[in-house]
Amino acid sequence: MGRALSMRQRRLLDDVLPRLAVPEGGSLNPNRLFHAAREVRLEIGFGTGEHLAHQVLAHPDIGFIGCEPFIAGVAALLARLGPSPPRNVLVYPDDARTLLARTRPGAFAAIVLLFPDPWPKLRHRKRRFINRTSLDLVAAALAPGGWFHVATDDPDYAVHILAEVPRHGAFAWAAESAAAWRRPSDAGPLSRCEVKARAAGRPAIYLAFRRQFSP
């Protein structure tokens, strides 16, 4: 059972989340949600928000949308951002695939998926985010030349990602050497999942894919 929310987290959910929530219903043009942003990026499953909060604060000229279906994670992000959060972040407290399905094509300059649940049991692998259906949504929402960053500490899932994403046809793996696997795409703080992986002796694997231009 998850830890109960604190009174501060509950207040943030009541007072701040409505101001940061992505508008419901209809098609979505993220660029119209951030009038001063030079581009918009999406983080899928931001967990407790370490990475997303850092990016939001480090890049005020970029708009960020974070998706996280677990309310405790949303509350943790809001606690990091405080009662007066920056204007360059919005939150979608639900499944990212629902948001992607209503997003205008080519809207995101980058989409980030950090340490998704690997669903290691064979009978559960159909639940993995990396599959043909989800990749169709990611490909449609990414601008040509945009980036799809994925990180995992599960070697089997890394093999699965490296098989499924290039096979899709819309993405090109950008690694030029083995060292690229060991470097994150930015210098932000370690997420809770990454800290746990390192403590357990599981090295993280960082994969970067470029959205190919249509012929």
- The encoded tokens of residue 200 equal 């357990």
CA gap 101, 31 in Å, rounded? 16
Whether residue 13 lies inside any domain: the answer is: yes
CA gap 64, 53 in Å, rounded? 10
Q: How far is CA 162 from CA 43, 50, 66, in A?
A: 20, 26, 24
pTM above threshold 0.85: yes
Residue type, 142: L
Contact 113, 45 (CB under 8 A): yes
- The encoded tokens of residue 173 equal 């793996």
Domain of 183, CATH number, reads 3.40.50.150
List the catalytic residues. Answer: 117
Backbone angles phi, psi at 191, to 5 degrees: -75, 165
Whether residue 2 lies inside any domain: the answer is: no
Domain of residue 149 covers 7-211
Domain count, the chain: 1
CA neighbor of 149 nearest in space, from 191, 86, 104: 191
> pLDDT tens across 184-198, in order?
777 667 677 777 777
Strand order in the sheet with 171-173: 89-92, 62-67, 39-44, 108-114, 142-152, 205-211, 171-173
Q: Is the pLDDT of residue 78 over 80?
A: yes
**Confidence at 1, pLDDT banded by 50, 70, 90:** very low
Whether residue 98 lies inside any domain: the answer is: yes
pLDDT on residue 212 = 94
